[in-house]
Amino acid sequence: MEDYQEAVSVTNDSFVKAFLHLKQFEIDNNHQILELRFRGWLRRITVNESIDQIRKRNRDIQYEPFNQDDWMDKVSEEKADAKLLYKELIKYMKELPPSYQKVFNLYVIDGFSHAEIAIMLEISVGASKSNLSRAKDFLQNKIVEFFETKKS
């Protein structure tokens, strides 16, 4: 959770759900593991509530296409080669397949973790990592090609 108030909200909602569904918690004769089972049950409720909160928060995130002008403003004081490289990089990022582009943008530009990206895009964490790796490989190859053609 990103801030204290959100963590408090998740905790409160988790306990409310636990109390409302306490009848669903099965109590058996083995009282030695009852506390462990209850902790696990409550932990699962809390994890699910946290995931629900993240989904609610990120449901309406709009993914804007890469805007070359925004990046160019940041390097206005740089020399011409840097500006040219930024233009090429933006062009190459636009060439990425949409799934790679989304993961790259969310991870590298926006700073989300693979777990958060997996939830937002409804993919596995492994798929998020794979898409990021492939996007980086693609961009790296394009940049190498750019410099090789520039040397010629």
Spell out the residues 6+ positions from residue 38 whose beta carbon is closer than 8 angstroms to its own.
25
Q: What is the pLDDT of residue 152?
A: 63
Q: pLDDT per position in the chain (152 positions), as tens? A: 457 888 888 888 888 888 888 888 777 777 777 777 888 888 888 888 888 887 777 665 655 555 555 555 554 545 555 666 677 778 888 888 888 988 888 888 778 888 888 888 888 999 999 999 999 999 888 888 877 877 66
Domains defined for the chain, CATH in brackets: 4-58 (no CATH), 68-151 (1.10.10.10)
Q: What is the pLDDT of residue 137?
A: 92
Cα distances from 120 to residues 13, 25, 151, in angstroms, run 21, 30, 42
Nearest Cα neighbor of 74 from 95, 92, 89, 61 is 89
- With residues binned 3-state (H G I as helix, E B as strand, rest as coil), the percentages for the chain, rounded to 5, are 75, 0, 25
Q: What is the pLDDT of residue 81?
A: 58
Q: What is the pLDDT of residue 15?
A: 87
Q: What is the pLDDT of residue 128?
A: 92
Tokens at 110, concatenated? 């926006």
Q: What is the pLDDT of residue 78?
A: 53
Q: What is the pLDDT of residue 60?
A: 59
Q: Which pTM does this prediction carry?
A: 0.49
Cα distances from 58 to residues 1, 49, 91, 120, in angstroms, run 12, 14, 27, 6
10 Å Cβ neighbour count for 102? Answer: 19
10 Å Cβ neighbour count for 120? Answer: 20
